[in-house]
Structure 1
């Protein structure tokens, strides 16, 4: 199976122009905290999540880092501000990425109005600066389609603020909202049925790849370095973890239990091994 090209956008679209000539900003031995919501929590939960892809991408460039996961499902800017000291600053990271805004808008009446969001984000940045923690800002990704929906129109003002404050403070910016829109348009133009999310909000593997490339670009990787990172990902065996389900009768389960016991495995481990072998055999015969 040939993978469609990912991220046809240029680095210039998703990275602050103030940092385009700075080179890679992260150094070997740095620690990076990833503050965010469920998208960030999911991004740290598996090798194919954007947080861990950023780490493996930097490692492919010879830069080993320590990841400090700080994403919590459902969190908004006020909650991230309230736990900033405990979840991030107390761990003394070199860098922090901030992904915040989806829930502030998506939660509607229980969300955070724009003025309060601005206050919260500004306070987070101020406290990071006081603690000597460098920050990369991520614009909030889309809230389902279409991009002209009321939620996404509202979200545009939140992202405009992030772009403005990143420029004013000379902070690296990964404009993931713009990257997502461009990638979706490219897929539609190519007639591809591929999508970037599992539900319109939370990223699948391709969405996580899009986010990781945007963050790596914000950290200063150029197009050639990003291409090398992508090549390193292509054969990483654990990026896609199937959610396929096997339905069995009790008789079939009993037979599998007997086979698994002889191999000193659990039934699930046996099914995983057999399924993986079958898929790889199928791929070996594919042209």
Structure 2
């Protein structure tokens, strides 16, 4: 029997050993990550609500839970993938009901069907950029006060109907590029302050997206994170998912 290995055989053996080692390392990392990640209660239902940033091109014909196409191409699907892979034992149910172009009044008009009827255990809301953008474009005349009263009423309605639901308020954000100019300010900052005020007053969780992006532009220009100043790039959505999960796990 020939006991000598040819060069090709040696390469194959080395690759096989390296592959096995990599698989073992990946498996160990997965186990370690699962052990270090806080648990999520079994059968938790998570709902993402908002405008086009949340919608992210989702297929509205594929609204079955945990469906990648139905969750869109943005931060909700990135979050869902992370949670579903980290907590297979929890049997999570994750929805995305963001709709492009929507403002607070639009959410209110569909809230029963697209929120309350789904009975989420965790409700994440990102809304506000269209409330000023459409105003600047002459398609809406809502004021900052309208934004506050409408948003507060929506939150109160939710708490009354679903008192055990954990609500996460996401800070509206823009980056100074693309569609964003001086006309947006200071009113946009006033609307951001309203979202933070409501979260504080109602003791809700708050995801500081604007602060996050303000820090991110020290690493790359605004266009890298949101080409038009409003809609995040893949990098921007990934940053949002990371920040959202940090808040989610800290509570």
Partner of residue 51, structure 1: 76
Partner of residue 124, structure 1: 154
1:166–1:80 CA distance, 2 compared to 1 (3 A):
same
Large movers: runs of 4+ above 4 Å? 23-26, 43-48
Q: For each residue in 1:200-233, what CA deviation from the matched residue of structure 2 results, as whole angstroms up to 9, or x when unmatched?
A: 21121111111111211221259xxxxxxxxxxx
1:124–1:43 CA distance, 2 compared to 1 (3 A):
farther
Q: For each residue in 1:77-125, what CA deviation from the matched residue of structure 2 results, as whole angstroms up to 9, or x when unmatched?
A: 1111111111111111111111100000111243321111101110111
Task: Report how far residue 28 of structure 1 moved.
Answer: 3.6
- Find out whether 1:215 has 2:215 as its counterpart: no
- Find out whether 1:67 has 2:63 as its counterpart: no
Query: When the two structures are aligned, how many residues end up with a matched partner?
Result: 196
Partner of residue 203, structure 2: 170
* C-alpha distance in structure 2 between counterparts of 1:26 and 1:165, whole Å: 26
Partner of residue 42, structure 1: 56
TM-score (norm 2): 0.70
Partner of residue 127, structure 2: 100
Q: For each residue in 1:168-200, what CA deviation from the matched residue of structure 2 results, as whole angstroms up to 9, or x when unmatched?
A: 221110011111111122224xxxx97012422
Q: Is the 8 A contact 2:177 2:228 kept in 1?
A: no
3-state SS, counterpart of residue 211 of structure 1 = helix
Partner of residue 114, structure 1: 144
Partner of residue 188, structure 2: 155
* C-alpha distance in structure 1 between counterparts of 2:79 and 2:166, whole Å: 16
Task: Report how far residue 24 of structure 1 moved.
Answer: 5.1
Q: Is the 8 A contact 1:75 1:103 kept in 2?
A: yes
Q: Is the 8 A contact 1:44 1:52 kept in 2?
A: no
Greater CA radius of gyration, 1 or 2? Answer: 2
Q: For each residue in 1:24-49, what CA deviation from the matched residue of structure 2 results, as whole angstroms up to 9, or x when unmatched?
A: 58534211111101111107565752
Which structure has the higher relative contact order (CA within 8 Å, separation 6+)? 1
- Find out whether 1:89 has 2:122 as its counterpart: no
1:135–1:203 CA distance, 2 compared to 1 (3 A):
same
